[in-house]
A and B are shown apart, each in its own frame.
Chain A
Amino acid sequence: MSATTQRGSAAVPARPRAADTARRRTRGRNERSLGASFALHATLMAASVIAVFPVLWILFISLGPSTAWQQPNEVLHHLGLDNYRFVLLHSHFPRWFLNSVIVAAATTVLGVLVSASAGYAVSRMRFPGHRPLMWTFLITQMFPMAVLIVPLYNLLVQLNLLDTYLGLVLVYCTISVPFCAWMLKGYFDTIPREIDEAGRVDGLTPFGTFWRLIMPLAKPGLAVTAFFSFLTAWGEVAYSNQFMRDPHTTLAVGIRTFAADQRADWGSMTAASVIIAIPAAIVFMLVQKHLVTGLTAGGTKG
């Protein structure tokens, strides 16, 4: 080990919790000694455990009795699905879940379409207002949304959109669209302009070019955008908490009622959390292949 040269990444501040990160190697960038391989896998394994542990912990607790979080040692002896049964059959959870699915799906579809068309226009056409628009996308992300709640509440009342799905979807779009449009603009920039020209030669309108040629090519970028929009809507708490009333409450707000009663029911809360994480995980699995390419193109060209 001592005779080997140090690999570049070893110079980076390594993960503090695993001091043995510094890896060494012999030759060739794609070869490494047995020791280096071991250190590499050990580090990644440790990091993976830290990343996954809280989620697995919730899953573990949810399989025990409803007081399992106080005696984690007992869980293995009393494995069962009681928490899930209670959440699915004896609470309003299914209705919250449905509300969240409606809102998140609508936000995703609307957010992706709207930000794609805006991103395309900004990427391909030079028009008055093009630069201020890019600035607006950045600035809207800087405004503390938590502080917008009061004015937004009044506005939704005036528009008759308070406590409606549409109102919440539009509000979520204001969070996700600026980032998505910014990122998609970057992604569209990486698609050669010759394709647009070919489309024009074949007699397509600019919108036709965008819809028939560019959108299919931009799948990785769109996947990341969809992922981001979905997660924004699926996990948002503050707006939903203020704008939606009982039959329309979404998951993030709904599951807090498990904890807000006289006697906090952490068991149900863990089971509900696991069920909520599943759709997010599915969406994530669907898009993860594109995540790296999609995000980079958007990130570098912003």
Chain B
Amino acid sequence: MTTATMDEGARDVKAPAPRAPHGAWTSIKRSWDKHWYAWAMVAPVVIVIGVLVLYPLCYGLYLSFTNANERNVAQNIGPIHIGATYDFVGLHNYWQVISGADGDFYPRLEWTVVWTVSCVAITYAIGLAMALLLNRPMRFRLFYRLALILPWAVPAFIGVFAWRLMFNSQYGVFNDIITKVGLPAQDWLGTPFAQKIAVILVNIWCGVPFMMVALLGGLQAIPGELYEAAEMDGATPVQRFFNVTVPGLRPVTNTVILLSTVWTFNMFPIIYLLLGNNTTGDTDILVTHAYEMAFSGGAADYAGSATYGIVILMILVAFSTFYRRQLKTQD
């Protein structure tokens, strides 16, 4: 419909339709005449992404096939330039990772999966509960909405800093609060297990508002007539929830779960900032582990870090392909 009209408009602006001689050149030219407008509008994005994402990505891919590390990459020490001396090692790095020879990959992957699944599941459950509560007429609704979205508006590093103060084992207020409730005090940022609980808690705190807002919008998009019809048919509230609300939310749910899985899998700042150097490495997910490899100082392993990056990308691409395919077969 409009597509056609738009294209006509575009052609009016550009040259008249090309004449006779057929061939590759003509078809390129014709395609250009027809689509140059669309291409011009996406060009800025394509250029920025192409240069600043694809190039580093390819470079990272290249690094992952070498043994580059801090000692053998090109560097400038003052005016002296030292050339790169690293070698091509083929799939060696990947073999190290996949076979488990580096000793880190599988433990990190396991924790990353636990972290992602628990964060996404709990965040979604709380976000949905809050959205359902907010999606009804009541007093102070605006106040509740603003308060509940607040963690999203606060920059992550500040939220994390606040939690860090609260978690402090000696002076932190968090222990005071939970002992009042009757739970035992913990050294939240001390032992690996408590650290894991702490980072999940903080991530949920940061993540709920996005879920809640997205699901709230999804709830508001469900036509009220559906509920009325269900009510007329004598559906109980539980039935209404499972037969009207859940299917009505499905498009939003699919999107937010996909997005938040990807984001949580790669959630760098929360773990890194909450724990800083005060960690044994047990709480590192794949991303923070890869970052540590490249910036740990002393023995920065660029090739290994790049390999992890590519492996993470492959895991996520595989996941989202699988996820979308599952959704298609469901429909």
Contact = CB atoms under 8 A, between A and B. Distances in A.
Interface of A: 5-15, 21, 25, 29-30, 37, 40-41, 43-45, 47-48, 50-52, 54-55, 57-58, 61, 69-72, 114-115, 117-118, 120-122, 124-130, 133, 136, 138-152, 154-155, 170-171, 173-174, 177-179, 181, 193, 196-197, 200, 205-207, 210, 231, 234-235, 237-238, 252, 266, 269-270, 273, 276-277, 280-281, 283-284, 288, 291-293, 295-297, 299-302
A58 B39 CA distance: 48
Interface of B: 1-3, 5-7, 9-10, 13, 31, 34-35, 37-39, 41-42, 44-46, 48-49, 51-53, 55-57, 59-60, 63, 125-126, 128-130, 132-134, 136-140, 143-159, 161-163, 165-166, 168, 170-171, 173, 205, 208-209, 213-214, 216-218, 220-221, 227, 231, 236-238, 240-242, 245, 251-252, 255-256, 259, 262-263, 266, 268-269, 272-273, 286-288, 290-291, 294-295, 302, 305-306, 308-309, 312-313, 316-317, 320
A143 to B, nearest CB: 5
B161 A273 contact: yes
B304 to A, nearest CB: 10
B10 A12 contact: no
A72 B171 CA distance: 8
A277 B158 contact: yes
A50 B177 CA distance: 12
Residue from B7, B42, B150 with most neighbouring chain A CB atoms (10 Å): B42
B136 to A, nearest CB: 7
Contact of A296 (B3, B42, B221): B221
Given A10-B237, A147-B290, A147-B306, A235 B9 contact: no
Contact of A57 (B128, B144, B165): B165
Nearest to A27: B231
Given A125-B35, A126-B3, A292-B220, A44 B48 contact: no
B147 to A, nearest CB: 4
Question: Chain B: interface secondary structure?
Answer: helix
B44 A117 contact: yes
A144 B310 CA distance: 9
Given A7-B237, A174-B52, A295 B133 contact: no
A176 B235 CA distance: 43
A292 to B, nearest CB: 5
Question: Which A-B residue pairs are the 5 nearest by beta carbons?
Answer: A296-B217, A235-B155, A147-B309, A8-B241, A151-B56
B306 to A, nearest CB: 7
Given A118-B42, A293-B217, A300-B255, 16 more contacts: A15-B129, A15-B130, A29-B136, A50-B205, A58-B162, A58-B165, A69-B171, A125-B3, A127-B35, A127-B38, A133-B45, A148-B56, A151-B60, A151-B63, A200-B6, A299-B218
Contact of A197 (B5, B55, B218): B5
B86 to A, nearest CB: 13
Nearest to B39: A127
Nearest to A29: B227
A150 B46 contact: no
Contacts of A171: 52
A23 to B, nearest CB: 8
A69 B136 CA distance: 40
B261 to A, nearest CB: 10
A89 B313 CA distance: 45
B41 to A, nearest CB: 4
Contacts of A55: 150-151, 154, 158-159, 162
Question: Chain A: interface secondary structure?
Answer: helix
B294 A149 contact: yes
7 contacts: A72-B173, A143-B312, A144-B268, A147-B60, A206-B6, A235-B157, A296-B214
Contacts of A295: 213-214, 217
A147 B287 contact: yes
A11 to B, nearest CB: 5
Contacts of B151: 51, 54-55
B294 A205 contact: no
B48 A146 contact: no
A8 B249 CA distance: 14
Contacts of B161: 58, 269, 273
A228 B204 CA distance: 18
A40 B129 contact: no
A237 B39 contact: no
Contacts of A252: 155, 157
A148 B10 contact: no
Contact of B55 (A133, A155, A269): A155
B48 A177 contact: yes
Contacts of A115: 45
Contacts of B38: 121, 125, 127, 130
A231 B263 CA distance: 15
Contacts of A179: 259
Contacts of A128: 31, 35
Given A125-B35, A140-B53, A147-B305, A12 B128 contact: yes
Contact of B312 (A12, A140, A144): A144
A291 B213 contact: yes
A125 B129 contact: no
